[in-house]
Structure 1
Amino acid sequence: MLGHRASLPRQLAFRFLPDGTDDAAVEWTYHDLAQHAATVAADLLRRELTGRRVVLALDPGLHYIAALFGIFRAGATAVPSFPPTGKRALARFVSIVEDCAPDVIVADTRLADRVAQFEAELPASVARPHWMFVDDDYLRRAAGSRTPDGGAHAPVPADGPALLQYTSGSTGDPKGIVLTHENLVSNCRALEANMGYEPDRVGCTWLPPYHDMGLMGTIMLAVHGGWPLVLMPPAYFVQRPYRWLKAVTDHKVTISVGPNFAFDICTSSITDEELATLDLGSLRQVFCGSEPVSRATLDAFRDRFGPRGYDETSLIPCYGLAEATLYVSGKRTGSAVKTVWLDRAELENGRVRQLPAEEAEAAEDGRAARIVSCGEVAEGHEVIIVDPGERRPAEAGRVGEVWVRGPNVATGYLGKPELTAETFAARLADPEAGHTYLRTGDLGFLHEGELCITGRLKDLVVIAGRNLYPQDIEHSVRGSHEKLRGAAVFSVPGESGEELVVVTEFRGTARQLAGERGEVRDAVVAAVTAGHGVAPADVHFAPVGAIPMTTSGKVRRDATRKAYVQGTLKKLTPAADEPPLSVR
């Protein structure tokens, strides 16, 4: 596909904003990208790396994209990784290298003097890979030394491995998912069937390119569709979310994407002065996924940015996962966002009882649950809702595990045959059921032909026979007091059964918390009790950044729970004279 794009009259492929603004913007055409990719490919081919694995640990940007397509061109398997620039990132990087045993690591030149430090973290049994450092100078030097046949590339079978995408680790240790070239193309076609064709399409993304939504959902999709994509490093969005919407305004962006939390922080952080500079009227598709979509978040975003041209029909709540390359379902472009009002008490018992909107809106706090539909299942794919214990289709009106079948589904996990068989080749208990399915581990139901997600099977908190969804309780915690930021909810064994634990990040110092602890704790307990009918057995106050997160911003509840139980989770020390809520 890239070769075809490069053969046409020069067309803009990427506009990169290194600092999140247009001040230092760099533009590449498809011809530029193909040339730089060929340079990387020639280097890999000289090293005879066809069929081998190459870890891609570059910083987000144009060099990353050139290296990615260079790896494809050389017939190697790309392994996207978070650059090893912090303690948490280094641990993840080491686990990936240990698991996939790459021959080469492609990294930024700023890491060249730290190779010994990185390799010291690897077990002695792991072979030390070769390091390639890619920057502008490398591309110029390598292009200058390329032999006349440097444009050659290795033949790549469509069903051969293209990418080893590591899971986010939100419910356990990261696992390498083997994606084929067929998977990548299928994912693009499924998304394009939802999006339709638009000749003036312009995209924008700040998502990390080592995350499935940032890589398959933007970069590869843009190249496959042949439309320009504006990129900025994730850090510059996090530092100032305004930059995302300003780029949408300046470049008349028609399509973009972001997780639920991105809409939250834009609503809360963009000032009135910044708001006045925005024009979001060009947006026709805004995909929202990667984590549960909150109706409250969507309402707040619509109310804040509607006066600046934002039309909520452009929003596309969607559902996907790395094991299905990315995309499984999404709202149809241009249609209204659909919200299903459910009786919360019934939902906690695994039953789907819809409430009329007028009854739900008038209900007391906590009685009604608002579930945002994730739209129709992707073209050419099938979703069934299954009782995970019985392995039979769930009865109508029951919540069950989401099982998926179709060309987006990956081939399995690297080096984990038993887990691959359990996850990617699941069969219904009926001996006559011939198809195999991907078990997603997500809970949901089908409503009027659309998929609705209620939570994660492993994250489900079961207390006194009630199924509590942690993301709902976490939303209540964050909204209970202005000084609370992140939250993680899980259960631990208690004297009389499972007990609810709330971990939340406090915006301030331990001394500041000491003066407000009683007030803040009471606010958390009141919000959780009133909204969900259960009182926390413990509220653990942590400093900002203490709750483990995935690269896409999802809470790693299992890791948080383990750290809490082991006593290693950071804590803002309480006042000396304050008794704990309970003894763990």
Structure 2
Amino acid sequence: MNAVTLLDVLLDAARRAPDQVVVHVRGDGGETPVTFRRLLEDSLRVAGGYRDAGVAPGTCVPVVADRGEDFQPLFWGALAAGLVPVPLAPDVRRVRPVWEHLGCPPVAVDEACADVAGRLPDGARVLRLEELRTSSAVGSPATAAPDDLAFLQFSSGSTGAPKGVELTHAAVLANLRQLTGAAALTDRDVVVSWMPYFHDMGLIGTHLAPLAARAKQVRIAPLSFAKNPRLWFEVAAAHRATLLSAANFALALTVRRVPEEAFAGLDLSTVRLILVGAEPISATVWRDFTARTRPSGLDPRAATPVYGLAEATLAVTFPPPGEVAVPVALERAALSRGRAVE
């Protein structure tokens, strides 16, 4: 990866693999494929919309989108216009305090999140995707230096109030190189995910890293997965997925909601890696998930515990390739003093 800025990742992917796709899966199983070429073209039109709207370069712009196929051009368009996108959950309780903290900048939304924007105080400026897309594409995307801000990422709030983390282009690219190397991610991989883009594991782990590797991406809307977790595995089987990612609760939800006979009708033998992170991992849930999915041919060694945090861009620890996770019980008090005592 020879990128200097984050936008170079999309430019390079569209140039070297223009027909590779990001497939967006609806709750009813219908699919919308978007090629890398089309994503770039759409993003450059949105960038033109940001410029026509008079948003000054360097402005932090909250990006609130329910649909993945809408979030992506809003995000990449902001980068191409020289803005700093701020991905946020489509919940006014999360959007308003960040918006106020940033000095009440324009907020970019898709049609599904118009109600969120409508609940902001009077005078809030809202940039709607359908209007941004009507502009002409920018001929020359904004240029940035490696140490310039790429985007502002808010932590998940696992250990306290969410915190805004300033991520430079250099920091994001460094973590993408580490991620693709640790996961041995290539253009032959197929990444199937339901993780939200306002979360670091969703955006960086399941969109930016696969894009950097020019891998095929298949994305299910998070709410569709929550309503029907079986869809995740049906889509993975249909697309011959090689890499999945999840949090512990998703494995637990699978055990509760997807019967063993459903897996007997699926072939998940192509999955080589399931990255499990974002929250503490239960050894019991892990074992139950492995047993439940066994009829599908899913390799029990595929599930891999990983650790990361927004403050470090994303990835911090990955086990060596091929190493099988084994639970170890340690004394908490000794561990707090830096000693591992079983």
Structure 2 residue 70 is the aligned partner of structure 1 residue 70: no
How many pairs does the alignment contain?
A: 333
Give the deviation of 1:255 after TM superposition: 0.5
Taking the aligned partners of 1:254 and 1:114, their CA distance within structure 2 comes to 36
Give the deviation of 1:307 after TM superposition: 2.2
Q: What's the Cα RMSD here?
A: 2.1
- TM-score where L is the length of structure 2: 0.91
Q: 1:276 to 1:40 in 2, by over 3 A?
A: same
Give the deviation of 1:9 after TM superposition: 5.2
Taking the aligned partners of 2:179 and 2:145, their CA distance within structure 1 comes to 23
Q: 1:19 to 1:299 in 2, by over 3 A?
A: same
Q: Work out which of the residue numbers 28, 39, 43 in structure 2 matches 1:37.
A: 43
Q: 1:114 to 1:210 in 2, by over 3 A?
A: closer
**Where do 1:85-164 residues align within 5 Å?**
89-112=91-114, 115-119=117-121, 128-135=123-130, 139=133, 141-142=134-135, 146=136, 150-164=138-152
Aligned AA (1:91): R
Question: Mean alpha-carbon deviation: is it higher for 182-191 or for 246-255?
Answer: 182-191
Whether the 8 Å CA contact 2:65–2:113 is kept in 1: the answer is no
Structure 2 residue 188 is the aligned partner of structure 1 residue 200: yes
Give the deviation of 1:60 after TM superposition: 3.1
**Higher relative contact order at CA 8 Å, sep ≥6: structure 1 or structure 2?**
2
Aligned AA (1:118): L
Aligned AA (1:229): Q
**1:351 — aligned with what?**
334
**2:10 — aligned with what?**
2
Taking the aligned partners of 2:170 and 2:77, their CA distance within structure 1 comes to 18
Give the deviation of 1:235 after TM superposition: 0.4
Q: Deviations over 1:173-212 (max 9, x none)?
A: 2221111111111111111121125452000110111011
**2:218 — aligned with what?**
230
SS at match of 1:163: strand
Aligned AA (2:272): R
**1:414 — aligned with what?**
none
- Determine which structure has the larger strand proportion and give its number: 1
Q: Percent identity?
A: 27
**1:27 — aligned with what?**
33
Aligned AA (2:65): L
- Determine which structure has the larger helix proportion and give its number: 2
Aligned AA (2:44): A
Whether the 8 Å CA contact 1:14–1:230 is kept in 2: the answer is yes
Q: Work out which of the residue numbers 77, 86, 89 in structure 2 matches 1:82.
A: 89
Taking the aligned partners of 2:119 and 2:225, their CA distance within structure 1 comes to 30
Whether the 8 Å CA contact 1:60–1:209 is kept in 2: the answer is no
Whether the 8 Å CA contact 1:53–1:102 is kept in 2: the answer is no
Q: Deviations over 1:524-576 (max 9, x none)?
A: xxxxxxxxxxxxxxxxxxxxxxxxxxxxxxxxxxxxxxxxxxxxxxxxxxxxx
Structure 2 residue 24 is the aligned partner of structure 1 residue 16: yes
Q: 1:116 to 1:216 in 2, by over 3 A?
A: closer
Give the deviation of 1:115 after TM superposition: 4.4
Aligned AA (1:8): R
Taking the aligned partners of 1:20 and 1:214, their CA distance within structure 2 comes to 22
Structure 1 residue ranges without an equivalent (≥5): 84-88, 121-127, 353-386, 388-393, 399-446, 448-584
Q: 1:16 to 1:158 in 2, by over 3 A?
A: same
**1:211 — aligned with what?**
199
Taking the aligned partners of 2:104 and 2:117, their CA distance within structure 1 comes to 15
**2:316 — aligned with what?**
328
Taking the aligned partners of 2:36 and 2:240, their CA distance within structure 1 comes to 21
Whether the 8 Å CA contact 2:107–2:117 is kept in 1: the answer is no
Structure 2 residue ranges without an equivalent (≥5): 1-8
Whether the 8 Å CA contact 1:13–1:223 is kept in 2: the answer is no
Taking the aligned partners of 2:256 and 2:117, their CA distance within structure 1 comes to 40
**Where do 1:286-305 residues align within 5 Å?**
286-305=274-293
Give the deviation of 1:222 after TM superposition: 1.2
Give the deviation of 1:67 after TM superposition: 1.0
Taking the aligned partners of 2:206 and 2:176, their CA distance within structure 1 comes to 9
Aligned AA (1:132): L
Taking the aligned partners of 1:9 and 1:307, their CA distance within structure 2 comes to 35
SS at match of 1:204: strand
Structure 2 residue 62 is the aligned partner of structure 1 residue 55: yes
Taking the aligned partners of 1:196 and 1:322, their CA distance within structure 2 comes to 22
Aligned AA (1:351): A
Aligned AA (1:109): E
